[in-house]
Amino acid sequence: MKGFVQAHGRLPTFSEAQKLLGYRSKGGVSNLMAHLARHRFVEKDRHGKRVPTSLLKSGLKLLGAVQAGFPSPAEEELIDTLSLDEFLVPNREASYLVKVTGDSMIEAGIFPDDLIIVERGRSPKSGDIVIAQIDGEWTLKYFEKTAGGVVLRPANKKYPPLYPKGELIVAGVVVANVRKYR
């Protein structure tokens, strides 16, 4: 079951599970699903559809929290497993990755070669970081609504704010930033 979930990103249908596990009837699959639900491997989403929890997905061990300020005693305890996809991507179907070039957002903690996760279809609010096409060119900036219209603000004092003269297309709102240190 775990291999199927990791390969397909979803639970098998009852027919697929029956074939996969060699069960003679779907009643056996139903009993298995009830067992998996009791042990928190499966849960129902907001539409009532059975979905795998992080226990069935590939993920990293979540071992607690660490203080970023003054040192404090830490205990290593397995709290759960965590899929980075599940943590970083709120809407998988509407999301995509983009590699960052340029330094106009470095004061927001977004550096060249970072990967950002962008969600399409989300209406930007003031303060969101967006990918937008302004006057025919694509850019990554803070989105801000003002009385005079929209301003795209960089997070680097070297660059001026951008005021769209023509059409402004917001391609998506940045929901996460991923940086690899090594």
Low-confidence ranges of the chain (pLDDT < 70): 58, 72-79
- The β-bridge relationship of strands 137-146 and 42-44 is unpaired
Structure confidence at residue 138 (pLDDT): 93
- Closest C-alpha to 126, from 105, 107, 149: 149
Q: Would the pTM of this model clear 0.85, i.e. be above it?
A: no
CB 17: neighbour CB atoms within 10 A? 19
Structure confidence at residue 74 (pLDDT): 60
Condensed to tens digits (0 to 9), the pLDDT of residues 69-106 reads 777 666 666 667 777 887 888 888 899 999 999 999 99
Structure confidence at residue 120 (pLDDT): 94
Q: Which residues have CB under 8 Å from 32's CB, separation 6+?
A: 1, 17, 21, 23
For 14, 36, 78, 83, the CA distances from 56, given in Å and listed in that order, are 17, 10, 16, 10
Structure confidence at residue 96 (pLDDT): 92
Known active-site residue 44: no
CB 154: neighbour CB atoms within 10 A? 21
* CB burial of residue 137 (10 Å; 0-12, 13-18, 19+): exposed
Are 63 and 78 a contacting pair, CB within 8 Å? yes
Known active-site residue 141: yes
Structure confidence at residue 78 (pLDDT): 67
Structure confidence at residue 40 (pLDDT): 86
State the number of CA atoms in the 13 A half-sphere of 53 facing the CB: 13
How many secondary structure helices (H) and strands (E) does the chain include?
A: 4, 10
Structure confidence at residue 10 (pLDDT): 85
Active-site residue, from 2, 58, 104, 158: 104
Active-site residue, from 58, 72, 141, 165: 141
